Amino acid sequence: MARARPSGLLEALAAAVVAVAVACSRDVPAVSDGGPLGSTKGATECPGVSTTCDLTNGERCCFAPDSGTGACATSCSPGSYSFVCDDSMDCPEASRCCVDSLVGGSYCAPRCGADQLCRTNDECAQGVACLPMLCRGRATGTCGVPREVVTSFCNP
C-alpha cells in the first residue's frame, strides 16, 4: 500500500519554525561550540538591566515583571522571577539551566520540562543548536526554537 504524501501543512509548519528561529537570532552573533556568547560560569546576566550577578556569592537575578527591571540579591521578593542561571555552566555537573514556565525565572535540573537556556551548542542535546536571541537587551540563547513563554518574556 502506497503512503500518501504529507500535505502542504507539514511543509508550512517546518517553514514557520525556521522563520521563528531566524527572527529570534537577528542582531545576535551565532553561537558555535565555544561560541561568541561564551559561558558566563558563576555569573548570571540580569534581563532588562546591565547587571551581572555573582553566583559564587549566593546572588541571583531577581526580575520584577511589573517594573521590567532586575537586581542582584541573595533572595527574591514574592512576585519576582528568580534567575539562578543563564547557562548550564552555572549549574552543578550533569544539570541544565531550565526556564521555569510556571513562576518565571530559571533553575538547575538534570532535565528541563520547558526551554533550556544556553550560550553554546555544547550545552544542548546532540543535534540541537543553541539559538541566540536578545532578551530584554541581553544576549542569551535557547536549545532549539524557544517556546512562547520565553519569547513573550523576552519581547514584552
42-61 tens-digit pLDDT: 888 888 777 889 999 999 99
**Domain membership flag for residue 108:** yes
Is residue 19 in a domain? no
Condensed to tens digits (0 to 9), the pLDDT of residues 26-45 reads: 333 344 455 557 777 888 88
The reply to whether 79 falls in a domain is yes
Q: Is residue 148 part of a domain?
A: yes
Q: Per the structure, how many domains does the chain have? A: 1
Residue 57 grid cell: 556569592
Task: Select from 149, 94, 101, 150 the least CA-distant residue to 123.
Answer: 94
Residue 17 lies in a domain: no
pLDDT at 34: 52
The rounded distance, in Å, linking the Cα atoms of 63 and 11 is 39
- Give the model's pLDDT for residue 97: 94
The answer to whether residue 8 sits within a structural domain is no
Residue 16 domain-assigned (yes or no): no
Contact call for residues 93 and 73 (beta carbons, < 8 A): no
Residue 4 parent element (H or E): none
- Grid cell at residue 46: 540580569
Residue 12 has pLDDT above 80, yes or no: no
> What residues make up the domain containing 76?
30-154
In a domain, 46, yes or no: yes
The mean of the pLDDT values for the chain is 76
Give SS3 for 65: coil
Which pTM was predicted?
0.73
CA–CA separation, 62 and 141 (whole Å): 19
